Amino acid sequence: MRTTLPKRTLFFTIALLSVSFCFSQPIPSTKEENDLPKDYLPASFHAGRRDALRQIMPANSVMVVFAYPTRTFSNDVEYLYHANPDMYYFSGYKEPHSLLLIFKDQQTDAAGHTFSELLFLQKRNAQQEQWTGKRLGTEGAKNSLGLAMSFNGESFKKFAIDFSRFDKVIFDRFPADIPRTRGRDSSDLVDLIQQFKQKASIPEDYSKEKRFDTRLYRQLTGMLRELKTPEEMTLIRKAVEISCQGQNEVMKSVRPDMSELEIQGLHEYVHKKYGAEEVGYGSIVGSGENGCVLHYMENAKTKIGNSLLLMDVGAEYHGYTADVTRTVPADGKFSSEEKIIYQLVYDAQEAAFKLLREGTRWRDAGDAARNVIADGLFKLGIIKDKTDVGKYYPHGLSHHIGLDVHDRGVSDTLKKDMVITIEPGIYIPEGSDCDKKWWSIAVRIEDDALITKNGYELLSHFAPRKIEEIEKMIAQKSALDDFKLPPLKSAEKKAF
């Protein structure tokens, strides 16, 4: 039950309630509206998340959420900006250089207006928008996001917010390296953080002051984000299905003369064809020995050959990512050794699946998979003692997915509405202390599952997992088979 506490007062000048901006948020034409996706999360979702947060925040507290920094790709070129998932989760705002405050209780300003959240964001700037695209601005935040108390970032400096009134000031750890914006922006992320530190009188070492709580930030956001709402599940399901379709088309297209980079491109082409804006993480496409590198992302091998091909690729759709791995034979058929190792990983995954339901401890599902692999490797003589299983299975079984590929969570047991991966693997690099016939075999099978009251739903069932089903898929014709490009003229040898 939510507790209502006496209202707290924030004092700031009335003039700031009508902060000026260079021009109002443009209203999209009917054509522009029709050209945009129709399944973005609505403002009501983000408002609901703020309300859910308030219900679990401690009495008389405020949470402070900063945007993520921008990052330089090369010289004066930046990486495509990726919003702080928490900022997006609680507000829907996706631009940099912004600050969101969420109050446990209703606040009252000097003019008598009540509110429970404040958003400070990038101001409209016609010159900058010509280069980097339209900004939402304060009016856009009010109209599109439903955040009535939205102000330009430069206003935060003059807001007379008395943080000493709060028993808890909750915020995440500050980034260690925040670049300054080019030009003369006095309200970029560096300024907003510095101004917050000054207003809240945060010392250099704030870890010893219980009022300033970064651990609670992770705890509260983890409690919410580990359980997915129906609106989130719509987007996650789509991200997972798109990822599976990418796996399927690549299976049908794969040939030994392909490069790892080419295969990565096919995956990501399929993702974008279905409307996924990004990948949720760097695509991992490793053939043979490269599959033994858990987070291999160079994808530089020019010919994958007849070895196994490990493909760990996940589409990101409207901010939500899938995480699906399939391991397939590039020449269409598993060798006898490859079959044995693959089936062992498959059996380990099945053992974990049997335990998936609300109330199961994460550790128990992990142990079930690890025990199957340990027993199997021991019987094959690949390890001499079952405790050595970590040599060839060096990672855990599972993690949350959602707005992050390793999404936030806090619970030791599985709960209904969690979405998790199940991803056992075996990796036997060249030079391992076992028979050479096992060298350079790497297998990981990774699927995404929604936890239910009495079991689970396998979201990634669209892509085959069984040996015979994979070989059958590889034998099919792909829509991408006829996609051939002429050779590059610059690749021809020339005499100088």
Q: What is the pLDDT of residues 336-352, one digit of tens each?
A: 999 999 999 999 999 99
Using an 8 Å Cβ cutoff, are 425 and 299 in contact?
Answer: no
What pLDDT sits at residue 8?
36
In the chain, CATH 3.40.350.10 sits at 8-225
The pLDDT of residue 410 is above 70: yes
Burial class (CB in 10 A: 0-12, 13-18, 19+), 128: middle
**Contact residues for 74 (Cβ-Cβ < 8 A; gap 6+):** none
Q: What is the pLDDT of residues 363-380, one digit of tens each?
A: 999 999 999 999 999 999
The pLDDT of residue 10 is above 90: no
Q: How far apart are the first and last CA of the chain?
A: 81
CA 475, 479, 480, 481 dihedral sign is positive
Task: Give residue for tokens 């010893």.
Answer: 208
Strand partners, 448: 421
Mean pLDDT of 233-238: 98
Instruction: Give the whole-number percent of the chain exceeding pLDDT 70.
Output: 91
Q: Which tokens sit at 36?
A: 């945009």
Using an 8 Å Cβ cutoff, are 320 and 235 in contact?
Answer: yes
In the chain, CATH 3.90.230.10 sits at 230-474
Q: Please tell me the least confidently modeled range out of 41-45, 160-164, 286-290, 403-407.
A: 160-164
Tell me which CATH code domain 8-225 carries.
3.40.350.10
Using an 8 Å Cβ cutoff, are 60 and 8 in contact?
Answer: yes
pTM of the model: 0.91
The pLDDT of residue 150 is above 60: yes
What pLDDT sits at residue 181?
77
What pLDDT sits at residue 15?
32
Alpha-carbon distance of 124 to 140, in angstroms, equals: 10
pLDDT band at 495 (very low <50, low <70, confident <90, very high): low
- Over the chain, what is the mean pLDDT? 91
Reduced to 3 states (helix: H, G, I; strand: E, B; else coil), residue 463 is coil
pLDDT band at 488 (very low <50, low <70, confident <90, very high): confident
Alpha-carbon distance of 281 to 293, in angstroms, equals: 16
**Nearest residue to 67 (alpha-carbon basis) of 102, 89, 90, 99:** 99
**Nearest residue to 98 (alpha-carbon basis) of 187, 184, 195, 198:** 187
Choose which CATH entry (3.90.230.10, 2.40.37.10, 3.30.70.20, 3.40.50.300) describes domain 230-474.
3.90.230.10
Write b or e for each residue in 210-222: b if 16 or more Cβ atoms lie within 10 A of its Cβ, otherwise e. ebbbeebbbebbb
pLDDT band at 492 (very low <50, low <70, confident <90, very high): low
Alpha-carbon distance of 428 to 338, in angstroms, equals: 11
